[in-house]
A and B are shown apart, each in its own frame.
Chain A
Amino acid sequence: MARRYALRGIALGYLVLVLLGPLSMVFWRVYAEGIDKAWVAITDPDTIHAFRLTLLVTAIAVPLNTVFGIVCGLAIVRRRFPGKGLVNAFVDLPLALSPVVVGLSLFLLYGRTGWFGPWLQQHGVQILFATPSIVLVTMFVSVPFVVREVVPTLRELGDTEEQAARTLGANGLQTFFRITLPAIRWAVIYGVILTTARCLGEYGAVAVVSGSIQGKTETATLRVQEEYENLNMAGAYGIALVLAAIGLVVLALMLRFRPKEESA
């Protein structure tokens, strides 16, 4: 019995010291620094623009990665094609790779001396230090989530129902929308939630490519960093509080939609 309480104590103590303790501080700091000052920072036009930009980028990246995730998941599970191992590896890469490296890669690809840089400059297309680059890096870092949720579900599902639909004369699209998609919809939803969380919270990759221009290319997470560097702690914690609140909503959604086999 003593051993059991000791282990419980260690586990809970660890969680409190590393996760819950720090998190509860965000509320305390906002209160201590002054709620009115935090409110000023949150309602600052540049902050509002930053949140708008973050939402816009998320609204573009999430649907694209959802469609890609489903198509790619289907290809990985149902088809055989040359280079499948490579595709698998590249899908997982963003999970193991530093977001800064992702940002730098795009920086080098679209920068002045990059492969596409000169051509883009001639045609007056601005990618770096503008919204397109933020969208591109965000897409990069959030590629794996839908794929990784869809693949195991498709595997478990098998393809007997799909074959049955085909033999009854359904075409590819009908089979997909009537049979496959309904069967994997929870996995897709869970993947979308994870993708959204990642898009909203991305910092490192965006920091490299966006240039952090206030009121233009500054996202919500960059705004936190900016306020911190300007020693406006009330502002930094205020905006962090908004982001943390969004994070808690996301966490609640994750719990609601978590696939059964993963829950305890």
Chain B
Amino acid sequence: MTYLGVVVALPIAALVWSSRSGGVSGSFWDAITNPEAVAALKLTLAVAALAALTNAVLGTVTAWVLVRDDFRGKALVNAVIDLPFALPTIVAGLVVLALYGPYSPIGVHLAFTRAAIWLALLFVTLPFVVRTVQPVLLELDTEMEEAARSLGASERTVFFRIVFPSILPGILSGVTMAFARAVGEIGAVTIISGNQPYRTEVASVFILNRSQAGDPGGAAAVAVVLLAISFVVLLAVGALRHRATRYERG
């Protein structure tokens, strides 16, 4: 436990402590209301939310196809899902740039735009929803769906009344983890976003720039906001897990 204290808890304590003294300009409040910091935080939250929602829909569809559909090469597709966990994020950023950047072979030039940040975030957060929904779908009994169908329910009704409620906790916890990951991501974003202040500079890049520019206080203020978001995310996921297992625990 001392290990955890030295490696994890102590640095966090130092961060929270330093943020109180604020940036070069003075207090914590000045550092956090700095227009550049506000713009970076707003952009980060918006793009991360968008990426998480995209994954909520397309990740669920992917999980569905992996469990209920059957086709040649499905095992390979299933394997590919984990790729973002195995690949360094800087490589992720670089390859997204290669396909959607200035040298794009398909003629799509999104580099240094907000759309590019969204794409890079989709790359790194893709596994989360798929991997939380997939096991739930696997265990789901199809008898209830068949019963509904035999009673005349349409496919749409079956999905939204029977399947969706069961997989919702999985979707939510996957989305929450994807959101957290997207908010904090830097490696994939830094290359493709161009890091223009007020336009394509995300919060993590802002923190890196400030700490390198000799303004650790200003960086710490924004970092504390990200830290708070992380704690909220962990609490939310914990609560979801608690709910999902309440029947097992009795």
Contact A8 B78 (CB under 8 A): no
Chain B residues with Cβ under 8 A from A168's Cβ? none
Query: Which size class do B's interface residues fall under?
Result: 35 or more
Chain A residues with Cβ under 8 A from B58's Cβ? 10-11, 14
| A29 within 8 A of partner (CB) | yes
Contact B138 A96 (CB under 8 A): no
Comparing A41-49, A171-179, A181-189, A247-255, the segment that makes contact with chain B is A247-255
Chain B residues with Cβ under 8 A from A75's Cβ? 1
Chain A residues with Cβ under 8 A from B185's Cβ? 98, 204
Within the assembled complex, what's the spacing in Å between the Cα atoms of A103 and B17?
15
| B177 within 8 A of partner (CB) | yes
| Chain B positions 205-250 with a Cβ under 8 Å from a chain A Cβ | 205, 207-208, 211-212, 216, 219-220, 223, 226-227, 230-231, 233-234, 237
Nearest CB of B to A83, in Å: 8
Residue count of chain A within 8 Å CB distance of chain B: 83
- A99 with B230: in contact, given A28-B98, A250-B86 (CB under 8 Å)? no
Chain B residues with Cβ under 8 A from A19's Cβ? 80, 83-84, 123, 126
Contact of A247 among B11, B88, B216, B219 (CB under 8 A): B88
| A120 within 8 A of partner (CB) | no
Within the assembled complex, what's the spacing in Å between the Cα atoms of A240 and B94?
8
Contact B14 A225 (CB under 8 A): no
Contact A204 B4 (CB under 8 A): no
- A264 with B69: in contact, given A204-B208, A224-B90, A254-B82 (CB under 8 Å)? no
| A21 within 8 A of partner (CB) | yes
| B171 within 8 A of partner (CB) | no
Contact A68 B98 (CB under 8 A): no
Within the assembled complex, what's the spacing in Å between the Cα atoms of A217 and B60?
42
Contact B91 A26 (CB under 8 A): yes
Chain A residues with Cβ under 8 A from B190's Cβ? 225
Chain A residues with Cβ under 8 A from B4's Cβ? 68, 72, 87, 90-91, 143
Within the assembled complex, what's the spacing in Å between the Cα atoms of A103 and B234?
20
| A164 within 8 A of partner (CB) | no
| Chain B positions 14-58 with a Cβ under 8 Å from a chain A Cβ | 14-15, 17-18, 58
Within the assembled complex, what's the spacing in Å between the Cα atoms of A201 and B86?
8
| A125 within 8 A of partner (CB) | no
Nearest CB of B to A129, in Å: 11
Within the assembled complex, what's the spacing in Å between the Cα atoms of A74 and B212?
40
Main secondary structure of the interface of A (DSSP, over half): helix
| A194 within 8 A of partner (CB) | yes
| B184 within 8 A of partner (CB) | yes
| A151 within 8 A of partner (CB) | no
| B96 within 8 A of partner (CB) | yes
Chain A residues with Cβ under 8 A from B181's Cβ? 96
Contact A203 B186 (CB under 8 A): yes
Within the assembled complex, what's the spacing in Å between the Cα atoms of A248 and B86?
7
Contact of B1 among A87, A93, A107, A208 (CB under 8 A): A87
| B3 within 8 A of partner (CB) | yes
**Of all chain B residues, which has the CB nearest A200?**
B88
Chain B residues with Cβ under 8 A from A99's Cβ? 184, 186-187, 204
Chain B residues with Cβ under 8 A from A107's Cβ? 211, 216
- A143 with B65: in contact, given A97-B227, A201-B88 (CB under 8 Å)? no
- A109 with B11: in contact, given A96-B233, A101-B184, A194-B85 (CB under 8 Å)? yes
| A108 within 8 A of partner (CB) | yes
| B89 within 8 A of partner (CB) | yes
Contact A8 B8 (CB under 8 A): no
| B151 within 8 A of partner (CB) | no
| Chain B positions 122-146 with a Cβ under 8 Å from a chain A Cβ | 122-123, 126, 131, 134-135, 138
Contact of B216 among A18, A20, A104, A240 (CB under 8 A): A104
Nearest CB of A to B159, in Å: 10
Nearest CB of B to A110, in Å: 9
Within the assembled complex, what's the spacing in Å between the Cα atoms of A139 and B3?
10
- A207 with B208: in contact, given A72-B4, A98-B183 (CB under 8 Å)? yes
Chain B residues with Cβ under 8 A from A115's Cβ? 14, 17
Q: List 19 A-B contacts (CB under 8 A).
A: A8-B71, A11-B58, A68-B4, A72-B1, A90-B9, A96-B230, A100-B204, A106-B11, A107-B211, A140-B8, A200-B88, A207-B208, A208-B212, A221-B88, A224-B88, A236-B94, A247-B87, A251-B83, A255-B82
